[in-house]
A and B are shown apart, each in its own frame.
Chain A
Amino acid sequence: QKEVEQDPGPLSVPEGAIVSLNCTYSNSAFQYFMWYRQYSRKGPELLMYTYSSGNKEDGRFTAQVDKSSKYISLFIRDSQPSDSATYLCAMNQFYFGTGTSLTVIP
């Protein structure tokens, strides 16, 4: 079993939709949870960072961590075409999910 599991998608949504991206993990020692966004032909860039359980909001983005279920989520409200990218979760800096490809259709 991989330490981090992420549905690769692809996910295609209309502009304005709420998007939910998810990862599960197996290692209960993970404490630091990150979401990276990777545009086509670019390197990943940090989008959100949370420590332990709870929610963190930044504009249209909300990161949620449920340590009891070993489950993390990234919600995008009012999605825009510019949100089209691959989203990678990462645990404790080095344990990456495979990424979910998102396309927001105008």
Chain B
Amino acid sequence: EAQVTQNPRYLITVTGKKLTVTCSQNMNHEYMSWYRQDPGLGLRQIYYSMNVEVTDKGDVPEGYKVSRKEKRNFPLILESPSPNQTSLYFCASSLSAGGVYEQYFGPGTRLTVT
């Protein structure tokens, strides 16, 4: 089954404790990205990757890191989480980034930072 998986689905942590949210897709997609979704603000892009080893900042990159060492995986790293990073996070992938392609979203990771 074609899908994007994320882990963990739910995470409660404390300020400053480094964490990683994993993302994997099995569709051989070139393009992957991370979004956060907050009430009233919608989906905001954090980082994206056009291909392996190619990543770039989205609209809200502060406090986040990513890496793309393999085509299928695109982990999101919070080196020192803060309460304002409490949010619902989605990983997404698409065949390419030409404006035409459907994005496939993961199931989401609900993060709470206390």
Contacts and interface: CB of A to CB of B under 8 A. Distances in A.
A34 B103 CA distance: 10
A32 B103 CA distance: 13
Interface of A is mostly: loop
Interface residues of A, number: 21
A31 interface: yes
Contact of B40 (A31, A49, A90, A98): A98
Contact of A93 (B4, B43, B90, B103): B103
B108 interface: yes
B104 to A, nearest CB: 8
Given A34-B102, A43-B90, A99-B42, A93 B97 contact: yes
B99 A43 contact: no
A88 B98 CA distance: 20
B45 interface: yes
B100 A41 contact: no
B94 A93 contact: yes
Contact of B107 (A32, A34, A43, A94): A43
A70 to B, nearest CB: 16
Given A43-B4, A43-B90, A93-B94, A98 B42 contact: yes
A92 B99 contact: yes
Given A93-B97, A96-B43, A49 B102 contact: yes
A48 to B, nearest CB: 11
10 contacts: A8-B40, A31-B99, A34-B102, A49-B102, A92-B99, A93-B98, A93-B103, A94-B99, A99-B42, A99-B43
Given A6-B42, A8-B40, A41-B107, 17 more contacts: A31-B99, A41-B108, A42-B107, A42-B108, A43-B90, A43-B105, A44-B103, A46-B103, A93-B94, A93-B97, A93-B98, A93-B100, A96-B42, A97-B42, A98-B40, A98-B42, A99-B43
Interface of B: 4, 40-43, 45, 90, 92, 94, 97-103, 105-108
